[in-house]
Amino acid sequence: MTPEALSLLTDFFDHLRYEKRASKNTVTHYQRDLKHLTLFCQKKSCEHWSELQYPDIRNHIAGRHRQGLGGKSLQRELSAIRSFFNYLVKNNYLQINPARYLRAPKASKTLPKTLDVDQINGLLETHAKSTLETRDLAIFEVFYSCGLRLSELTGLNIEDIDFSEQMVTIQHGKGHKSRLVPIGKKALSALKKWLPLRLSLKNNNETALFLSQHGKRLSNRSVQSRLSQWCKKIHSPVHIHPHMLRHSFASHFLESSQNLRAVQELLGHSKISTTQIYTHLDFQHLLHVYDNTHPRAKK
């Protein structure tokens, strides 16, 4: 592709960052998805985006599907392509968006995996034997207590925790939205054990609540790795990832409260339809109870 065509990609990513104020993760995903489209254009010897037509985009998406990409990933990739071409149309580089009417295959609906209360207790009630394990337990407690996203947890600063009011301020939620969420006593207790130890790792200019052993803000990947190591230590039969703790929080809260709006607020969902997936989890729980208790349900 010509340098001019490639520079339009750079302009689009700047537009996402500075005008749309898209999150770092969103920009990274768009860069990755549009890189695949760029490679497709190079194979077809396309020099400019204006040469792409509806059949070309359809063939690209079909090819990605043949490579094993699932429905949800294809939808996200097609969304990135549409957004890019919308940007080109808006800025008079193109007349029409060739991906406008293209639809990706429907993604199969899978319910999020959750842990039951006994599994949560097994994860959180093992004693820490080092500074880093004390930090890790505090991380897991805050995850489950507040139902945070991984990026929200690693983005926490010390001043975001209000011990007297038992509240946590999420400064940078999804869509750059902030919110307040309550935090439980066990999570606060775990934090009180961690904070004195944090001083031994502290970098003078670092405000992050959770630090690495080098005194820097803990990364998302590090949290994932530490949770995996902790699961091996406690011989967990279940593979647990950070988001599973968020799912478990939502499922357990909804099961006890039956308050879908409250779960929506706590999770920071802009649409209640996103939260409604947890009603299916709760319904599955009810079916399980029914099958085990109703006299006419048993075989």
**296 tagged catalytic:** no
Query: Per residue in 47-105, pLDDT tens?
Result: 999 999 999 999 999 999 889 888 888 999 999 999 999 999 999 999 999 999 898 77
For residues 69 and 126, state if they share a domain. no
For residues 124 and 270, state if they share a domain. yes
**177 tagged catalytic:** no
Query: Per residue in 36-57, pLDDT tens?
Result: 999 999 999 999 999 999 999 9
In a domain, 225, yes or no: yes
Q: Is 66 helix (H, G, I), strand (E, B) or coil?
A: helix
In a domain, 242, yes or no: yes
CA distance 14 to 12: 5
The pLDDT of residue 284 is above 60: no
The pLDDT of residue 281 is above 60: no
For residues 123 and 232, state if they share a domain. yes
For residues 84 and 123, state if they share a domain. no
In a domain, 299, yes or no: no
**247 tagged catalytic:** no
- What 8-state DSSP symbol labels residue 157? B
Per-residue confidence (pLDDT) for residue 299, from 0 to 100 = 54
Q: Which of 64, 76, 149, 198 is catalytic?
A: 149
For residue 43, the one-letter residue type is: K
pTM of the model: 0.65
- What token pair was written down for 46? 């396309």
In a domain, 112, yes or no: no
Task: Supply the CATH number for residue 192's domain.
Answer: 1.10.443.10
In a domain, 101, yes or no: no
For residues 77 and 134, state if they share a domain. no
Q: Is 297 helix (H, G, I), strand (E, B) or coil?
A: coil
The residues pairing with 182 across neighbouring beta strands, listed in sequence order, are 167
Task: Supply the CATH number for residue 12's domain.
Answer: 1.10.150.130
Q: Which of 30, 87, 144, 278 is catalytic?
A: 278
Please identify, among 90, 105, 140, the residue that sits at the C-terminal boundary of a domain: 90
* Mean pLDDT for the stretch of residues 255-275: 79
For residues 131 and 189, state if they share a domain. yes
For residues 154 and 209, state if they share a domain. yes
For residue 15, the one-letter residue type is: H
Q: Which residue has the higher pLDDT, 10 or 287?
A: 10
In a domain, 221, yes or no: yes
Q: Which of 46-50, 132-136, 271-275 has the lowest mean pLDDT?
A: 271-275
Q: Which of 76, 246, 247, 252 is catalytic?
A: 246
For residues 171 and 76, state if they share a domain. no
**217 tagged catalytic:** no
With contact defined as beta carbons under 8 Å apart, do 248 and 120 qualify? yes
Query: Per residue in 174-190, pLDDT tens?
Result: 777 789 999 999 999 99
**193 tagged catalytic:** no
In a domain, 106, yes or no: no
| Region class of 5: left (phi > 0), else alpha (psi between -120 and 50), else beta | alpha
The number of folded domains in the chain is 2
Structural domain boundaries enclosing 52: 3-90
Query: Among positive and negative, which fits the CA dihedral 175, 178, 180, 183?
Result: positive
Q: Which of 27-31, 34-38, 270-274 has the lowest mean pLDDT?
A: 270-274
The mean predicted confidence, pLDDT, of the chain is 88
* Mean pLDDT for the stretch of residues 246-258: 84
Q: Which of 29, 82, 179, 269 is catalytic?
A: 269
Return the beta strands (E) in the chain as ranges: 161-162, 167-170, 179-182
For residues 189 and 249, state if they share a domain. yes
For residues 266 and 162, state if they share a domain. yes
For residues 250 and 147, state if they share a domain. yes
* Mean pLDDT for the stretch of residues 237-246: 90
107-111, 209-213, 251-255, 266-270: which has the highest mean pLDDT? 209-213
Please identify, among 46, 75, 90, the residue that sits at the C-terminal boundary of a domain: 90
For residues 68 and 128, state if they share a domain. no
Find how far residue 240's CA is from the centre of its chain. Answer: 15
In a domain, 11, yes or no: yes
Per-residue confidence (pLDDT) for residue 285, from 0 to 100 = 56
Please identify, among 90, 105, 138, the residue that sits at the C-terminal boundary of a domain: 90
**149 tagged catalytic:** yes
Q: Which of 29, 65, 113, 174 is catalytic?
A: 174
Question: CB under 8 Å to 146, separation ≥6 — which residues?
Answer: 168, 181, 182, 183, 187, 249, 266
Per-residue confidence (pLDDT) for residue 94, from 0 to 100 = 93
Per-residue confidence (pLDDT) for residue 226, from 0 to 100 = 95
Q: Which of 15, 20, 243, 285 is catalytic?
A: 243
* Mean pLDDT for the stretch of residues 160-170: 94
